[in-house]
Every structure is written in structure tokens, then in C-alpha cells.
Amino acid sequence: MCGRYAASRRPEDLAGIFEIEKWEPEESLEPDYNVAPTKEVYAVLDRPLKDVEDPKPVRQLRKLKWGLVPSWSKTPEGGARMINARAETVHEKPSYRRAFSTRRCILPADGYYEWVTGKQERDLEVEGRKKRPRKQPYFVTPADGSVFAMAGLYEFWRDRTLPDDHPQAWWVTCSVITTEAETTPLAVAPADGPHALADIHPRMPLMLTPDRWDDWLDPKRTDPDELTSLLAPPPAGLMRAFPVSTAVSNVRNNGPELLKELEAPEEGTLF
């Protein structure tokens, strides 16, 4: 699962990392250390430019709303519930399959937050029998400090209650693709805490390594069999995780202090 993440890199930095060809300064976002569903986020995508004769896809940095609204939806109200799409079923679910075919994106992040609970409660969650209460938050991020490139989907939704020239007539929304969490050891693990991502949560955002970026973003790649091969988990041992303040549990809190590593979990050892 991915329900909260941090994204503090400047658009200029992202432009260099992802070889962005087009982005609008007026779409710049402030660093966000507590990105929650329905917020606006940066997305990297390949798409032809409007009002240009050349149909060649252009690498763009766009501002999207997190929480996908399918194009056929009558209202946008369900977007807040569609923040994640499962890698195992994204190619067949009606809400995601069209976007998976031609509207894939990368959602750049510093890393994501996840809340740890005891093993018995996690087992019940996997079985769908109990909603896991949030406890000690951990921040998961690439061990080498590189960008956390989450595989995502985006979609367009037309608000038919507004005229064509209204600035909010079109919504562009996105969803993070998740996969099974790694059971292999973390590259850097806390001394008193989880030793693998699966110890934190059974799901994790699907991180795309740079060698997959071009293929994932290419809108001309539409064959489901070819695309599903891109959903393979990244190589093991790339991530680190550490406990952070429970202040991140409140979406109103936002600042670099949320990423400060704690010496020990605030609520005691769960392992």
C-alpha cells in the first residue's frame, strides 16, 4: 500500500533526472513532506503536446491530483479511494486497464511512509479480516539517496457540469501501482525494528529503476503481455527504512523534520 509519501525535489532537479522536455513554471509545487490522497503531485509522462502538428510523445513534468477518477465515472467522488492499483490485477480491472494500456506515468518521491503493527494484526489484514490500526511510522527510501520513482497511471475526467473553457472542466488524476513487499533484507535496517519491507507492510509501491523508465512511459507500448513484464519488482536490497515521528500521522503536519530518523520507535519495539 502507499497512503502517504514525501516529495521535496524541485522541478528543476526532476527535469534533469528524468530528462524532461516540457514543464510549466506556473505548475510548480512546494516541497511536500506529507503527501496525502487528493493532493496535487508531480508526475512524469510521455505525451504529445497540444496544438502541435508533430504527434511525437514529449517527456513532460505535469501536476496531477492523487486519486484516480476513471474517464467514465459520473462524479469524481471515488478518487480518494483509488490511490493505489495492484500490479497483479491492474491490466484487468475496469478502473485501471485503459490507463495501464496507454497512460502510464512515474510519480517521483523521496520515499513513502508506512505504519508498523504486530505480526498477528498484519496477518489478519492480509486475509481481509481486519483493518490495520496505524502505529509507529517508518520512512522507506532508496539507500543511495536517489529518487524513488513510483510506477503510476493517470487518467482524464471531464466535468460535464462546467463549460469547455472553464479551468476546472478537466481533471487529470493518478494512482500508484503497488506490489508485494520484499521479504529480502533491507540494504539498511534499524537495529531495533523491521529487517525487510514485508515486516512493515505486505504491500509496497512498485519502484521503477532507471532502465525501465523509457519503456514504462512509452505510450506506444500497449500490448498487455509486454507491459506486465515491466511490473516485476525491482532488484532486492535497494531500500532502507527507519522510524520517524508519529507527527506524520497528522496530515496537517508538513516539514523536513518529518523525515528525521529516530533512534528508537516512539511507541516501543514491535519486533
Strands 40-47 and 84-86: unpaired
**E strand intervals along the chain:** 5-7, 32-35, 40-47, 58-66, 84-86, 104-109, 111-116, 136-142, 148-158, 170-180, 203-205, 239-243
Do residues 150 and 107 touch, judged by C-beta distance below 8 A? yes
Q: Is 222 left (phi over 0), alpha (psi -120 to 50) or beta?
A: alpha
Cell of 159: 466535468
3 state SS for 143-170? CCCCCEEEEEEEEEEECCCCCCCCCCCE
Q: How far apart are the C-alpha atoms of 263 and 129, rounded to whole Å? A: 33
Q: How far apart are the C-alpha atoms of 172 and 218, rounded to whole Å? A: 18
Q: How far apart are the C-alpha atoms of 150 and 109, rounded to whole Å? A: 7
How many Cα atoms are found within 13 Å in the side-chain-facing hemisphere of 17? 21
Q: Would you please indicate which residues are annotated as catalytic (active-site) residues? A: 2, 114
